[in-house]
A and B are shown apart, each in its own frame.
Chain A
Amino acid sequence: MSGQFAEACAVAVSGLIKRYPKSQVNAVDGISFSVMRGEVFGLLGPNGAGKTTAVGVLTTRARATAGHATVGGVDVMADPIRARNQLAVVPQRLNLDRSISIRRNLTFHAAYHGIAAGEAESRADQLLEEFGLLERADVKPDRFSGGQAQRVMIARALMHQPQVLFLDEPTTGLDPAARLFVWERLQKLREDGVTLILTTHDMDEAALLADRVGIMDHGKLLALDTPEALMRSLPGRATLELATPLRNGASGDRLVQALQELPGVERVESLQEDATDGAPAELRLRLYVSSEAAQLVAPAANLLAERGLALSGVELGRPSLEDVFIHLTGRSLR
């Protein structure tokens, strides 16, 4: 990796290996990737895949066994002290300072990073307000719910305006409302141009938030691309669902056969729906395709029209990141 490239990246990792003492295997096994400034990068994988360890190395809390890593253009192994100025961490577990109020959590964090008291106070006020915490600013963290504590930890991390924000499983264990709040905040941060690196085992979260996703398992990076590209890369995983009103006595068998012969179609399933009040019986056909499903809509509609059948519904089914993970590892994510 050239030095100039590393400096242009928010994060650059090459050949990173981490083996814990007394362990037989590498927790992180030679991963390389780079994250552009302003990008949201997701590390997706099951528990124990090495995501947290990789983040530990990048945030100077774990020493790499081999390889290189820079954050904000600073080598995390050669100059961890300066690297800490460039980054902030929102950990998986609550680690707020329980002896002091949440406002002091924020202002002392700023002080550790050399920010003057006056600036820290006004910045804390601003962040506490943005995160809906102003009313309880003088309460100690023990009185906070998991969702509120998570907000405090994100606000704290933003106090010293890091270039790269690391979030380890940012919504694990949160209730749906709290999760939604965190997602909204993270999307806002993305709009503000903060580089975000998040680890998650929640594929919806990764697909929703991340510009690019790296899929990790057993310490290795198995795939790395945009969520769309990862899902497109799956052979025969897209689906096209067609619906047509069924005339009395008509059978879909011939139609199924014709659809099966369209290029790119791997398999066709027919699901017949009984007539309900007012609505006629409907034939639903699900096509499993290996090419772009949208391109099959027109030829399929033609086939129906040739048989005098109207097309009453079209639905493109998209594979999820979970399908990608299963395809890559042969295992389910959870």
Chain B
Amino acid sequence: MSAVMTPRQGVSQARAFRAVLRRDVFVTLSELPVFVAQVILQPLFLLFVFGKVLGALGYTRRGYADLLFPGLLALTAMITAIQTLAFPLMVEFGWTMEIEDRLLAPMATGLVAMEKVLFATLRAMVAAALMIPVGILVLGSIPWRWAGLPLLLAAMALGSLLGAGFGLVLGTLVAPNRINIVFSLIFTPLLFTGCVQYPWPALARLQWFQVVTAANPMTYVSELMRAALVPLVPHITPWVCLTVLGATITALLTIGVRGFYRRAID
């Protein structure tokens, strides 16, 4: 082999970006059963116990499953995106340094971060979409409105992006030996204060908790899902949700990309 001795022109950054994205898709496809299990298991059990078992035993009112299902879509999108991005990133930066080969690719460092965001978003949207057949299977039927489809897709995309933004911030700020702390201190509260299991306006009777849930951006994803699928259940107006989500996602991505630069370049 002989070395090329003329200065090389840059290849297109878009090409490098696509190659890095292709790598992530390749790895996901080669671990498809793991991906499906990771994505489906938690919402499947939540759906089964809260939607089916409690209903069959008469502890929940008829129609609760309809209210829960949109919330679970939000939860699936958000959690999947966080998991896809945060944990591998913590490990790659903190321990395996696997990401170095991609950081040395001829593309802007910020683009490596944005690829992670895009991939996590795509994966989370696939996961949320998978919940639809799972819901039909477990519940027999799911609340569905073709007219709500655009809003549903927007909610899926924004919920996934929100999770990716959270994932990027966590992945760049948290050391790998703190994963456990992150899990219990951030994940669990996020999961239960995001209006997955209850609609936000109904919390008027528990006002302090209503305030707490309003601070969790996932609330606005859940409410957007309800606006799309069960508009008769009282919910937060979509434009409020869209505004809050747009602002939160912008803030998270800004902080996350900055953190990414800090970790990537000394």
Contact = CB atoms under 8 A, between A and B. Distances in A.
Contacts of B144: none
A105 B27 CA distance: 12
Interface string A98-139: 111000110011011110000000000010000000000000
Given A86-B8, A98-B98, A100-B26, A193 B2 contact: yes
Q: How large is the interface on B (under 10, 10 to 19, 20 to 34, 35 or more residues)?
A: 35 or more
Contacts of B101: 95-97, 105, 108-109, 112, 156
A88 B3 CA distance: 12
Contacts of A161: 1, 3-4
Contacts of A7: 7
Contacts of A244: none
Contacts of A95: 96-98, 100-101
A89 interface: yes
B12 interface: yes
Contact of B96 (A88, A98, A105): A98
Given A99-B27, A113-B105, A114-B16, A192 B97 contact: no
B8 A72 contact: yes
Contacts of B19: 108, 111-112, 114
Contact of A82 (B30, B102, B106): B106
A61 interface: yes
9 contacts: A63-B266, A81-B106, A84-B105, A85-B106, A89-B104, A99-B31, A100-B30, A126-B1, A156-B101
Interface of A: 7, 18, 20, 37-38, 53, 56, 59-63, 72-74, 81-82, 84-86, 88-89, 91, 93-100, 104-105, 108-109, 111-114, 126, 156, 158, 161-163, 192-195
Interface of B: 1-5, 7-13, 15-16, 19-20, 22-23, 26-27, 30-31, 96-98, 100-108, 264-266
